[in-house]
Structure 1
Amino acid sequence: MIPEIRHLRAFAAVAEELHFGRAAVRLNIVQPALSMQIRQLEEMLGVRLLDRTRRSVAVTEPGQLFLEEARRILRALDQAIDLAQRAGRGEAGRLAIGYSAATAYSGLLSRLLSAFHAALPEITLDVRELHPAMQREALLTRELDIGFVVANAESRKPAFDSLVVERWRMALALPTGHPLAKRAVVPFDLLREEPFITYEALGEDLGVDAFREAAGFAPMVRHHAQSPIMLLSLVGAGLGIATVPTILQSAAPPGVTFLQGDRAFPELPIAALFRRHNGNAALRRFVEGLEAV
Structure 2
Amino acid sequence: MSVDVELRHLRAFASVAHHRSFSRAAEELLITQPALSRTIAQLEGNLSVRLLDRSSRHVELTDTGAEFLVHVERVLATLDQALAVVSHRVTLRLGFSWLLPDPWTQQTVSRFEERTGATVALTRSDDPLQALRQRTLDIAVVRGEVDAPRGARVLHLFDEPRVALCSEHSDLTRLAQLDWTDVRYWPLVVNTVSGTTGPWSWPADQRPKRIIETSNYDEWLETVAAGRGIGIVPEVARRRTQHPAVRFVPLTNAPPSPVSLVHVPDAQRTLIRRFLDAALETAAE
Both proteins in one fold, TM over 0.5: yes
**Structure-1-length-normalised TM-score:** 0.57
- The equivalent of 2:271 in structure 1 is 282
- Per the TM alignment, residue 271 of structure 1 is displaced from its structure 2 partner at its CA by 0.6
Q: Would the aligned equivalents of 2:189 and 2:212 in 1 still touch at CA under 8 Å? A: yes
Structure 2: segments with no counterpart, 5+ residues? 1-78
Once the two structures are superposed, the pairs formed by residues 252-263 of structure 1 within 5 Å of their partners are: 252-261=242-251
Equivalent position of 2:226 in the other structure:
237
Sort the Cα spacing of 1:168 and 1:83 in 2 relative to 1 into closer, same or farther, 3 A: closer
Q: In the alignment, residue 115 of structure 2 is paired with which amino acid? A: A
Let me know the Cα RMSD of the aligned residues: 3.4
1:201–1:223 CA distance, 2 compared to 1 (3 A):
closer
Instruction: Show CA shifts across 1:91-140 (max 9, x none).
Output: 76221211121326x454333212222333x31333211234xx334334
Percentage of matched positions with identical amino acids = 18
Bigger helix fraction: 1
- Post-superposition Cα deviations, 1:55-88, rounded to whole Å, max 9, x if no partner, equal xxxxxxxxxxxxxxxxxxxxxxxxxxx9992258
Residue deviations 1:144-178 (CA, integer Å, cap 9, x gap): 221111352513x6612222223121121122332
> TM-score, structure 2 length as denominator?
0.59
| Aligned twin of 1:117 | 113
- Distance between the aligned counterparts of 2:80 and 2:146, measured in 1? 39
Aligned pair in 2 of structure 1 residues 159, 87: CA closer, same or farther (>3 Å)? farther
Once the two structures are superposed, the pairs formed by residues 106-145 of structure 1 within 5 Å of their partners are 106-120=102-116, 122-132=117-127, 135-145=128-138
Q: What residue number does 1:67 align with?
A: none
SS in 1 for 2:198: helix
**Distance change in 2, residues 1:126/1:159 (3 Å):** same
1:123 partner amino acid: A
Q: How far apart are the structure 1 equivalents of 2:193 and 2:100? A: 11
- CA drift of 1:245 comes to 1.4
Alignment partner, residue 189 of structure 2: 197
Correspondences of 1:157-236 after superposition (within 5 Å): 159-186=151-178, 192=184, 194-203=186-195, 206-209=196-199, 212=202, 216-222=206-212, 224=214, 226-228=216-218, 230-236=219-225
Q: For residues 287 and 94 of structure 1, what CA distance do their matches in structure 2 show?
A: 15
Look up the SS of the partner of 1:103 in the other structure. Answer: coil
Whether the 8 Å contact between 2:162 and 2:257 is mirrored in structure 1 is yes
The count of aligned residue pairs is 203
Q: Deviation string for 1:20-69 (max 9, x for gaps)? A: xxxxxxxxxxxxxxxxxxxxxxxxxxxxxxxxxxxxxxxxxxxxxxxxxx
Give the 3 Å change call, closer, same or farther, for CA 288–181 of structure 1 in structure 2.
same
Give the counterpart letter for 2:143 in structure 1: V
TM superposition shift of 1:213: 5.1
| Letter of the 1:126 counterpart | A
User: What SS class does the counterpart of residue 142 from structure 1 fall into?
Assistant: coil
| Residue identity opposite 1:131 in structure 2 | D
Letter in 2 for 1:93: V
8 Å CA contact 1:211–1:243 kept in 2: the answer is no
Distance 1:160 1:112 in 2: 21
Q: Which AA in structure 2 matches 1:165?
A: L
Whole-angstrom CA distance in 2 between matches of 1:186 and 1:137: 34
- Are 2:132 and 1:152 aligned? no
